Amino acid sequence: MQNELNSTDQYDDEIDLRELFSVLWGGKKLIVGITAIFALVAVFYALSIPNQYRATALVSPAQGSGGGLSGALGQLGGLASLAGVSIGGGESSEAQVAQEIMRSRGFIEEFISENNIDVEVFAAQGWDRGSNRLEINSDLYDVDSSLWLRDAPAGKTVGPTGWELYKSFSGMFSVSQDKKTGMISISVEYFSPEIAKQWVDQLVIGINQHMQSRKLDKVNINIQYLEAQIQKTSIAEMREVFYTIIEEQIKSKMLAEASPEYAFVTVSPAMVPEEKSQPKRALICILGTLLGGMLAVLLVLVRHYAFNGNNKKYLVIRNDITKTPLRF
């Protein structure tokens, strides 16, 4: 009896490929139908997604302020540190700082505010190539009256908050550095290729101005501090050191003011893209069709084996004493 049960279990665990093929062939209409539905949905979804275009500028970290000044500042670095003054770091660290500033919420919010592009960032939903105009979501913003119309979530204003603008723009903007060459790519992906190129140009100008202003503020603070220290000391040698450091700080300030590309030097400016970067419509259609086919096959198999499981097979077990078959 035990042997018969084991043989039955072994038979149930085996996969009959002919039966499997027969089941799939019997459910071919359902498989084809479900696959076709998923394929059509994928096609319509892919066609409904608006095109996006990526504009990219290639920049390199700006060189130092010049050999003579850099050497002088290096020699005075120890004295400046003793005086409590920082006279600047390396080029690579400045480039890394500039990249992190570009990704920061403060810089992005300031960039959006200065260029007045909150509508383009938050309410745009496409671009009409024929008229070369953005398509604005009428549920969010009324172009004629220049008013925001959305139903404000709890605790928020009708217009987008700084955090919402930051999240929206962060999804369009990216900055990355090639570890081998040190070159930095600044990219914007947007509905309009012209606007994408324009924003990249403005970002490069904006970060250069920000880093330049940051440097000038730092130099001015250093000069004010050194001048105050001169007034406090009567030691001639110390006063001479302070005057020397002030002279180098003034030189650094003059060079910073004369360098419009203070942080990044443009190697390859952004161009108006002619081909879309998103969406990958062919890939969306292929994945949608494959997903539909797999789900259809799974449905046919589950339906078949579930129904067969409900129709219990009779197992004949011979009783060793009565020799009477028991059925259940």
The residue out of 227, 245, 268 marking a domain boundary is 268
Q: Which of 203, 187, 176 has its CA nearest to residue 110? A: 203
At a CB cut-off of 8 Å and minimum separation 6, what does 322 contact? none
Looking at residue 219, what is its pLDDT?
A: 87
Q: Are 96 and 7 in the same domain? A: no
CA pair distance 130, 316, nearest whole angstrom: 78
Q: Are 14 and 94 in the same domain? A: no
Q: Are 58 and 204 in the same domain? A: yes
Domain presence at residue 109:
yes
Residue type for 116, please?
N
Looking at residue 94, what is its pLDDT?
A: 82
Q: Are 67 and 156 in the same domain? A: yes
Residue 273 φ then ψ, to 5°? -70, 140
Count CA atoms within 13 Å of residue 20 on its CB side: 6
The residue out of 268, 301, 318 marking a domain boundary is 268
Domain presence at residue 75:
yes
Looking at residue 152, what is its pLDDT?
A: 75
Which residues of 116-251 form beta strands (DSSP E)? 124-128, 133-136, 141-142, 147-148, 173-177, 184-190
> Strand 325-326 vs strand 317-318: parallel, antiparallel, or unpaired?
antiparallel
Q: Which of 183, 199, 173, 142 has its CA nearest to residue 265? A: 183
Looking at residue 84, what is its pLDDT?
A: 52
Count of residues in the chain:
328
Looking at residue 304, what is its pLDDT?
A: 80
Q: Are 249 and 316 in the same domain? A: no
One pLDDT digit (tens) per residue for the chain, 328 residues: 445 545 544 444 455 778 788 888 888 899 999 999 999 999 999 999 999 999 999 999 986 543 333 444 444 455 555 555 555 554 557 888 999 999 999 999 999 999 999 999 999 999 998 888 999 999 999 999 999 988 877 777 888 999 999 999 999 999 999 989 989 999 999 999 999 999 999 999 999 999 999 989 988 988 888 888 888 888 888 888 888 888 888 888 888 888 888 889 999 999 999 999 999 999 999 999 999 999 999 998 888 877 765 554 433 334 444 444 444 4
What are the DSSP calls for 258-289, one per residue? T-SSSSEEEEE-----SS--B--HHHHHHHHH
Into how many domains does the chain fold? Answer: 2
| pTM, 2 dp | 0.75
Domain presence at residue 274:
no
Cβ distance 200 to 55 under 8 Å? Answer: yes
For the chain, what is the radius of gyration of the CA atoms?
Answer: 35
Domain presence at residue 178:
yes
Looking at residue 67, what is its pLDDT?
A: 37
Q: Are 17 and 165 in the same domain? A: no
Looking at residue 312, what is its pLDDT?
A: 44
The residue out of 246, 268, 290 marking a domain boundary is 268
Q: Are 173 and 225 in the same domain? A: yes
Q: Are 221 and 307 in the same domain? A: no
Q: Are 177 and 248 in the same domain? A: yes
First to last CA, the chain: 15
Residue 130 DSSP label: T
Q: Are 192 and 123 in the same domain? A: yes
Q: Which of 76, 65, 91, 90 has its CA nearest to residue 226? A: 76
Looking at residue 14, what is its pLDDT?
A: 52
State both tokens at 121. 């960032």
Domain presence at residue 275:
no
Strand partners, 57: 186
Looking at residue 275, what is its pLDDT?
A: 92
Q: Are 163 and 294 in the same domain? A: no
The residue segments making up the domain with residue 136 are: 53-268
Q: Are 9 and 57 in the same domain? A: no
